[in-house]
Structure 1
Amino acid sequence: MTASADVPVPRRGPKLEPLLLSPDERVVLERWARRASSAQAVALRARIVLACAGADVPPIVVVARELRIAADTVRKWRRRFLTARLDGLVDEPRPGRPPTISVDQVEAVVVSTLEEIPKNATHWSRSSMADRSGLSKSTVGRIWRKFQLKPHLTDTFKLSTDPLFVEKVYDVVGLYFNPPEGAVVLSVDEKSQIQALDRSQPVLPMMPGMPERRTHDYVRNGLTTLFAAFDVATGEVITSLHRRHRAAEFKKFLAKIDKEVPGHLQVHLICDNYGTHKTPAIKAWLAKHPRFHLHFTPTGSSWINQVERWFGFLADQKIRRGAHKSVRSLEADIRAWVKQWNENPTPFTWTKTAEEILDSLARFCQRISGAGH
């Protein structure tokens, strides 16, 4: 006789042991079965046990079909429950190192990372710290992520030793927030020694699935210096290119600014403390052009000069990945890029007041005051 397609055929094998639940176990299983998505694995196991419970033993295949899971999954968790009851539905501990470590071990890793240096290296790696602590490399990595420790990274800083630091910060930032009426404020500097570099072999263009490729070596084809005056109000830039970087070239650049800025406007220039800005020749030129006023940034504080950010755009978009067979071609590319910038100039928005800058610096000094002790 052929069995009907709607009637399940019981699995051949030993008779199944009845799965009987106590009232307390049923309450717990019904609560687990209603768990949210974050605990669906345990919820499914609870539903399997509830479906298998009772004096009349339901066939495994029937339970599997009702829950739309594999029969072996039903068999596994039914057997686990009969062996360990409710505890059997919780994931078994995995072989290997226990998943938890002590607070003392965590503290030892953090303290060693911050206060010690390995014998044969300048900084810790996950491997060396694992050897030092006796923990696994993955555990060391988790501790470092938790405490935001990155021994492989380093950053730079420089504290200005300018005795007039505070006064200069107030002066420069004051020009950004409250420029004088009837005046233009220009952030001025030189990007010196821009190299005309050409790769030793042609650059291979980007293709689908493959980035642009270039040789690691290059040929130097000369240097140029870009003088730039960034208008902090409009974002427009006055530039001049020279092969040398002396007071004579800076004086020529001042003359160009004088020519391009309308004569009725006062000119306030924000400059760094480079020696070419303070020579007798420059002072004599400024004396003959009284509408020019120089404001110097604190020593070691180029970040306060907005033209430095503009130089960054130029380097990223034109110079760094460029290839030039001559200084002339490099200068032509720079002039073309500057012309395009001035067609749609973008001023930068200065947000920090002088007080906020000084407060931030004070907090930084407090944090590092004990460094190295």
Structure 2
Amino acid sequence: MCGGLVEREQVADDLGISRETVRKWRARFVKDRLEGLTDRPRPGPPRRITDEQVEALVTKTLDEKPSSGDSHWSTRSMAEATGMSQSAVSRIWRAFGLKPHTVETWKLSTDPQFVTKVRDVVGIYLSPPENALVLAVDEKSQIQALDRTQPVLPMAPTTPARMTHDYVRHGTTSLFAALDIASGSVIAQHHRRHRHTEFLRFLKTIDAAVPKDLDLHLVLDNYATHKTEAVKKWLLRHPRFHLHFTPTSASWLNLVERWFAELTRRKLRRSAHRSVIELERDIRGWINEWNKNPKPFVWTKTADEILETLAAYCTTINDSRH
């Protein structure tokens, strides 16, 4: 008996389950052998929604629109259309990850050099050149200095911080940023405009900030200010700069966009500023703190994996049209 108890404890520990569970299933096996291991009817009322009804509801959600002319199904309209309760519709949608009320933006690039550019940019992320710095560069334009119309109420126990939904605008600024993909540190500069003139100033700032013995590989989008004659002439005089352009409509390939998202989430979204000068000072302070302990964003997918995923997605889109 003692040996059986020790063995039961060992099995429970190995599987991460209770000793009572081990005891129950061993007893059922001893009594009925393999038949004792099958699921038995559970307590409670019998299941009222069949697999066929679930399949029909999921199909209806994916393939049909409400007869009312609404753009998407709600639990109420689907319940009326299927004869189920709203709670049942909600449970089935959650089980299948369906969210008819949610829509996300997307756009496939039509760049004729899409594949070449993806391989170039991803290649430089995964295998940076020696004796070189790889910088993801872009501008976050039209950052607004916004002040709430009434004071922000601080957080209190059981109550989150609160701010008014309306605000007063006090002007805009543009932030030029270059993210070092190896260290995560950022070179940044504010300008009130974002023409090629400002972009050239930022290139000069990068040139002055990076040791002269390093080549510079810049990942950029196809914004017109990056390709003007003045910029091209300056680059000819500074041959250590090498530009790598992302495909059109593919800003997700530029890692600095990930850093801009952090800036927005952790600083801008809940801040209030009474002037552009105050906004710029606040952003500079946040960037200085970031650079004290920078965190790189590690790119993991290969170009082939990205292209295979997009090819499968395009196939799904084409199939859905038929």
Give the AA of the match of 1:114.
Answer: L
1-structure distance, mates of 2:277, 2:233: 32
2-structure distance, mates of 1:91, 1:337: 58
SS at match of 2:142: strand
Determine what percentage of the aligned residue pairs are the same residue: 60
The Cα of 1:108 is off from its aligned counterpart by 2.4
Give the AA of the match of 2:203.
Answer: L
Structure 2: gaps (5+ residues): 1-19, 25-41
2:317 is equivalent to residue 368 of structure 1: yes
User: Given the two structures, how large is their TM-score scaled by the length of structure 1?
Assistant: 0.73
Q: Which residue of 2 aligns with 1:298?
A: 247
Moved more, 276-285 or 188-197: 276-285
1-structure distance, mates of 2:173, 2:292: 24
SS at match of 1:192: strand
1-structure distance, mates of 2:71, 2:265: 31
Give the AA of the match of 2:88.
Answer: T
Map 1:291-370 → 2, pairs under 5 A: 291-370=240-319
Q: Which residue of 2 aligns with 1:135?
A: 84
The Cα of 1:135 is off from its aligned counterpart by 1.7
Give the AA of the match of 1:363.
Answer: A
Structure 1 pair 292–369 and aligned structure 2 pair: CA distance change class (3 A): same
SS at match of 1:356: helix
Task: Select the residue among 107, 119, 122 that pairs with 1:173.
Answer: 122
2-structure distance, mates of 1:321, 1:123: 32
Q: Deviations over 1:110-162 (max 9, x none)?
A: 22111111123111111101111112212222322333322122222211111
Give the AA of the match of 1:155.
Answer: E
Q: Which residue of 2 aligns with 1:126?
A: 75
2-structure distance, mates of 1:170, 1:149: 34
Give the AA of the match of 1:101.
Answer: I
Structure 1 pair 92–257 and aligned structure 2 pair: CA distance change class (3 A): closer
Task: Select the residue among 54, 57, 78 that pairs with 1:109.
Answer: 57
2:56 is equivalent to residue 100 of structure 1: no
Give the AA of the match of 1:354.
Answer: A
Moved more, 184-193 or 336-345: 336-345
2:187 is equivalent to residue 238 of structure 1: yes
The Cα of 1:92 is off from its aligned counterpart by 7.4
2:207 is equivalent to residue 258 of structure 1: yes
Structure with the bigger RCO (C-alpha within 8 Å, sep 6+) is: 2
Q: Which residue of 1 aligns with 2:96?
A: 147
Map 1:182-221 → 2, pairs under 5 A: 182-221=131-170
2:112 is equivalent to residue 163 of structure 1: yes
The Cα of 1:91 is off from its aligned counterpart by 6.0
2-structure distance, mates of 1:137, 1:174: 50
Give the AA of the match of 1:318.
Answer: K
The Cα of 1:333 is off from its aligned counterpart by 0.4
2-structure distance, mates of 1:286, 1:148: 50
SS at match of 1:311: helix
Q: Which residue of 2 aligns with 1:222?
A: 171
Give the AA of the match of 1:260.
Answer: A
SS at match of 1:370: helix
RMSD over aligned Cα, in angstroms? 1.9
The Cα of 1:372 is off from its aligned counterpart by 3.6
Give the AA of the match of 1:225.
Answer: S
Moved more, 134-143 or 121-130: 134-143
SS at match of 2:319: coil
User: Given the two structures, how large is their TM-score scaled by the length of structure 2?
Assistant: 0.84
2-structure distance, mates of 1:172, 1:359: 16
1-structure distance, mates of 2:291, 2:151: 31
SS at match of 2:320: coil
Give the AA of the match of 1:325.
Answer: R
SS at match of 2:163: coil
Give the AA of the match of 2:223.
Answer: Y
Q: Deviations over 1:223-280 (max 9, x none)?
A: 0000001111111111110001101100110111111111111111100000100011
